[in-house]
Copies of this chain bind each other. A is one copy, B any other.
Amino acid sequence: MTTDVASLDLTANAVDLTVQLVDIESVSQNEQAIADAVEAALSACGHLTVSRHGNTVVARTDLGRGERVVIAGHLDTVPLNANLPARREGELLHGLGTCDMKGGDAVILRLAATVPEPNRDVTYILYECEEIDSELNGLYLLGQSHPELMEADFAILMEPSNAEVEAGCQGTLRVEVRATGERAHSARSWKGVNAIHAATPILERLRAYEPRKPMIDGLEYHEGLNAVFISGGVAGNVLPDECVVEVNHRFAPDRSEAEAQQFVRDFFEGYDVTVTDSAPGALPGLDLPAAKAFIEAVGREVNPKFGWTDVARFTSLGIPAVNFGPGDPMLAHKQEEHVPVEHIERCERQLREWLTTPRKPAESASREREHASAGTPERRSSW
């Protein structure tokens, strides 16, 4: 470790460690300093095998346990917004990355450093570029270059989820719905057909949309259908011949991508519908033994995950996965993001208990991972 590398004190408590991590600025694609610090600190722990992949750091125990879990968090943040350095006010820690997700990273580092003999083998992954172009996502790249390092019976992503367990995730689909017309000079509009006016029923249908809220594995999902962009227009004196409404459909994981696409096509019947983006949902998978054991151990209520996160990257590999991290996801990416100190402490305490309490016989059963899965490997971050 040279003096150029910021040092992290893994003997500090997780809250102080969060402050240390937040104060190493690590906007996406600027993760070298934080990855160097993380690599150096973990390499000092003799019980871990550490490897570096770009600015992604992997640290593993290899105790020959009958089960392996991944605990992962991303090291990058969205751009600075006059919200560094970290600042504690009472029971809240403020600053860029406090919520998304250096509080979770601190918990990971604390567990990695201080639980030398966990009751199941653990692969800790601290990765780069979650907040930007999904092709740069460290977890995606690791799955491509070293798929064996992703292997596990269960995965926990420490994405902010109010220190509650969020399971599964909804699929997301984007389509362009197109209304057409005929151009004409706006001074003689009766000679043409205004495509923007012709788009009225598209908006009327969206406005009348009633979301499905299916129950799956005891979790209530909540679908959505929203215009996210609208555009049309040629010139200030011309009737436009095209108006495009870009619609984002969020669908519960009991529907396949094909079913969701069909729903959207039927919904906009009479209009040209082009799919521009599609990612499957992920079923909660809470009936798989490793997941069940975790839920029991933390004893928390399980909530459905509405957004798309890297959880789906694991479930698409047949690995049940949940989000379980400090911080309110609604504060992610906001200038005023912050995290309750209590969330960080609770996540650390519960994970520590889960990794150190002697496992029940049922939990040690053979791995039940299925590698077949629902959909193509994903190349996106949380959506």
Task: Name A168-195 residues within 8 Å CB distance of B.
Answer: 170, 172, 174, 185-191, 194
B224 touching A229, Cβ below 8 Å: no
B194 touching A307, Cβ below 8 Å: no
B306 touching A250, Cβ below 8 Å: no
Task: Name A186-233 residues within 8 Å CB distance of B.
Answer: 186-191, 194, 196-197, 199-200, 203-204, 206-207, 211, 222, 224, 226-233
Among A170, A174, A188, chain B packs the most CB atoms within 10 A around the CB of: A188
CB distance from A378 to the nearest CB of B (A): 15
Mostly, the A contact residues are mixed
A245 touching B188, Cβ below 8 Å: no
Whether A149 is near chain B, meaning CB under 8 Å from some CB there, is no
CB distance from A164 to the nearest CB of B (A): 15
CB distance from A173 to the nearest CB of B (A): 11
B207 touching A236, Cβ below 8 Å: no
Whether A82 is near chain B, meaning CB under 8 Å from some CB there, is no
Whether A330 is near chain B, meaning CB under 8 Å from some CB there, is yes
Given the interface pairs A207-B197, A307-B187, the reply to whether A228 lies near B236 with Cβ below 8 Å is yes
Residues of A in contact with B, size category: 35 or more
Whether A239 is near chain B, meaning CB under 8 Å from some CB there, is yes
Among A226, A233, A238, A308, chain B packs the most CB atoms within 10 A around the CB of: A226
B203 touching A330, Cβ below 8 Å: no
Which residues of B are found within 8 Å of A186, using beta-carbon distances? Answer: 224, 226, 228, 248, 250
B203 touching A199, Cβ below 8 Å: yes
Which residues of B are found within 8 Å of A203, using beta-carbon distances? Answer: 196-197, 199-200, 203
Whether A89 is near chain B, meaning CB under 8 Å from some CB there, is no
| 11 pairs, CB–CB < 8 Å, chain A vs chain B | A185-B330, A187-B224, A187-B250, A188-B330, A194-B227, A196-B228, A197-B227, A199-B203, A200-B203, A200-B206, A228-B237
